[in-house]
Amino acid sequence: MSSRSHLLNDRTAEHYRRSLTHGVERVAARLAGTEQPFTGVTPAELAPTVSAVDLEKPLGTASEALDELERVYLRDAVYFHHPRYLAHLNCPVVIPAVLGEAVLSAVNSSLDTWDQSAGGTLIERRLVAWTAQRVGFGSSADGIFTSGGSQSNLQALLLAREETCRLVRKNSETALSTPQILPKLRILTSECSHFSIEKAAVLLGLGTEAVVPVPCDEQRRMRVDALEEEMARCERAGETVMAVVATAGTTDFGSIDPLPAVADLCERAGAWLHVDAAYGCGLLTSRRRRGLLTGIERADSVTVDYHKSFFQPVSSSAVLVRDGDTLRHVTYHADYLNPARSVEREIPNQVDKSLQTTRRFDALKLWMTLRVMGADALGELFDECVDRAADAWRLLDADDRFDVVVEPRLSTLVFRHLPRGADAALTDRANLHARDALFASGEAVVAGTVVDGRHHLKFTLLNPETSTADIAAVLDLIAAHADRYAAEHGAVHPPALSTAPAC
């Protein structure tokens, strides 16, 4: 076959159809045949297979490349659609979105300028407006699709920084330069917030010291009294609160910060409020639980991750702002792309609102989802996950083999196994071991985290197909692994372990 026969165009439509159909058949067969979320393959076992592929020698046909792909990827991939995948914030994906993905990569629109995307730009704008309306923003709202929550948070904080610098300059008698202002800026966020806030602070020239962790209550929500105190301390110290970041659905606990009270404090202090709803955004489609997000409409900016609780394929996220004017802080003009005169001519160039230039048409996935199944159907799927987490909490709470940290608001559970006769250090190691052993078996995948210095396990439930029976079965597997480990490592002789090195 000639090189040109691989180009997707009017003459290769049949080749395209066949090639993609092959791929779809393989994936469909894989999905139908997965009995476990994972095979348990180790990097050392899989690496030689990937290394052995000679990239200088193409196979020539899609079906041969797909045969090879079975070995290097599909056979050992971690499958999020499996009901016993309970680890991270990954969702099974809805079929209309996968269809959208296939369409968007084939047409390959780039959403930076109108002259590269035409209808795509309008579709994205409709979806930004749709989401903003669900948030409860008014008609001045705007936003942009991004690659993920981390980028959405970065962009929101960039806008907050620029707005804060503008206000500081306006209110000061001397003309302050940006380098004079930056060291005084502070970002206040709960100790349970996402680490992308710190990364953003570094990228924004503030350093991690600029991020001030605000303590949480027992439910892992930001303490309003502590926030108020911290804001007062900043004022006394001559520091400027650049932003308060509230989390609507913390990654570990699914806890939702008290948004109305936090909004009150921000309003009083004139501070930018960013709500990181990367995880909790699914509530925007829930008929039963939308109320949990009350107050989000008072934010200046909001992060939503459709690739978490909207069942969309990676990547799909957006940052929304209450005042669309603030997006001007990322507007730069290039003569070859989006010259200033295109603004006067009202040509809608999305690059004017984005940190990216060439940008995927991820919005199409959500569009297809809403057009085929609708928002209520998404909300029902997420509600089922939240219901399941409540069931799982009841299971864990009633089971004295386990200690569970908080009753979930969303769909995560942080807990640990308490092997009989094990001291604190051995309990830690037994839980770490149980997670690794489970992963190695491939029977289920769970996550881990540290709470108050102690190793815990975590379920993140984003699959409505996960049943209470699945959860009970995984708990039994965890208990078996942890108990065996503890017994083998001397759980019956706890005093001897007090001097054992922690690993």
Ligand X SMILES: *Cc1c(COP(=O)(O)O)cnc(C)c1O
Tell me: does residue 365 bind ligand X (CB under 6 A): no
Give the DSSP H/E element, type plus range, for residue 119.
Answer: helix 119-135
* Residue 473 burial (C-beta neighbours within 10 Å; 0-12, 13-18, 19+): middle
272: tokens are 């930018």
Count, residues near ligand X per rule CB under 6 A: 15
User: Which residue has the closest beta carbon to ligand X?
Assistant: 149
Of 101-109, 176-184, 245-253, 258-266, the segment contacting ligand X by CB under 6 A is: 245-253
Give dist(CA 163, CA 452) in Å, integer: 36
- Candidates 251, 301, 349, 412: give the one binding ligand X (CB under 6 A): 251
Q: Which of 317, 427, 463, 466 binds ligand X (CB under 6 A)?
A: 317
**Interacting stretch for ligand X, rule CB under 6 A, among 56-64, 173-181, 246-254, 336-344?**
246-254
**Cβ 503 to ligand X shortest distance, Å:** 28
The correct pick among 19, 109, 116, 247 for binding ligand X (CB under 6 A) is 247
Question: Quick one: 164 or 317, whose CB is closer to ligand X?
Answer: 317
Is 196 a binding residue for ligand X by CB under 6 A? The answer is yes
**Nearest CB to ligand X, comparing residues 246 and 438:** 246
Query: Which CB atom, from 360 or from 433, has the smaller least distance to ligand X?
Result: 360
Q: How far is CA 398 from the centre of its chain?
A: 31
Nearby residues of 295 by Cβ (< 8 Å), 6 or more positions away: 258, 259, 260, 261, 262, 263
3-state SS, 440-501, equals HHCCCEEEEEEECCEEEEEEECCCCCCCHHHHHHHHHHHHHHHHHHHHHCCCCCHHHHCCCC
Shortest reach from residue 194's CB to ligand X, in Å: 3
Told to check if 123 binds ligand X by CB under 6 A, we report no
Q: Which of 150, 309, 349, 369 binds ligand X (CB under 6 A)?
A: 150
Buried b (16+ CB within 10 A) or exposed e, 313-324: bbbbbbbbbbeb
- Check binding of 87 to ligand X (CB under 6 A): no
Q: Which is nearer to ligand X, 276 or 383 (CB)?
A: 276
- The reply to whether 282 sits near ligand X by the rule CB under 6 A is no
* Residue 145 engages ligand X in binding (rule: CB under 6 A): no
194 sits near ligand X (criterion: CB under 6 A) = yes
**C-beta of residue 238 within 8 angstroms of C-beta of residue 274:** no
Contact 199, 233 (CB under 8 A): no
Q: Where are the beta strands (DSSP E) in 182-296?
A: 185-190, 211-214, 240-247, 272-277
φ and ψ at residue 416, rounded to 5 degrees: -145, 155
The verdict on 148 binding ligand X (CB under 6 A) reads: yes
Taking CB under 6 A as the criterion, the residue among 101, 112, 163, 305 binding ligand X is: 305
Does position 310 interact with ligand X (CB under 6 A)? The reply is no
Query: What's the CA gap between 277 and 140, in Å, rounded?
Result: 20
Binding segment for ligand X among 69-77, 98-106, 143-151, 490-498 (CB under 6 A)?
Answer: 143-151
Q: Is residue 89 near ligand X by the rule CB under 6 A? A: yes
| CB-nearer residue toward ligand X: 293 or 482 | 293
Q: Which stretch binds ligand X (CB under 6 A): 39-47, 105-113, 145-153, 495-503?
A: 145-153
Tell which one of 278, 386, 418, 426 touches ligand X (CB under 6 A).
278
C-alpha angle 280-367-125 in degrees, rounded to nearest 5? 85
Contact positions with ligand X (CB under 6 A) in 258-277: 276
Assess whether the previous peptide bond of 315 is cis (omega < 30° from 0).
yes
Contact 160, 274 (CB under 8 A): yes
What residue type is 374 in one-letter code?
G
Length, in residues, of the chain: 503
Residue carrying structure tokens 């969309």: 312
The verdict on 230 binding ligand X (CB under 6 A) reads no
CB 277 within 8 A of CB 239: no
- Looking at 168-176, 216-224, 244-252, 345-353, which segment touches ligand X (CB under 6 A)? 244-252
Residue whose CB is less far from ligand X, 141 or 277: 277
Per CB under 6 A, which of residues 449..468 are in contact with ligand X?
none
Strands 301-305 and 272-277: parallel
Answer yes or no whether residue 189 interacts with ligand X by CB under 6 A: no
Element containing residue 318 per DSSP (H, E): strand 317-321
> Is residue 408 at the binding interface for ligand X, with CB under 6 A as the rule?
no
Pairwise CA distance, residues 240 & 250, whole Å: 25
CB of 72 to ligand X, least distance (A): 25
Q: Looking at beta carbons only, is 182 or 451 nearer to ligand X?
A: 451
The nearer residue to ligand X, 276 or 470, going by C-beta atoms, is 276
* CB distance 246 to 274 below 8 Å: yes
Q: CB-wise, 279 or 439, nearer to ligand X?
A: 279
Q: What is the layout of strands, in order, in the sheet containing 85-86?
A: 85-86, 445-451, 454-460, 412-417, 402-404
Which residues contact ligand X (rule: CB under 6 A)? 89, 148-150, 153, 194, 196, 247, 249, 251, 276, 278-279, 305, 317
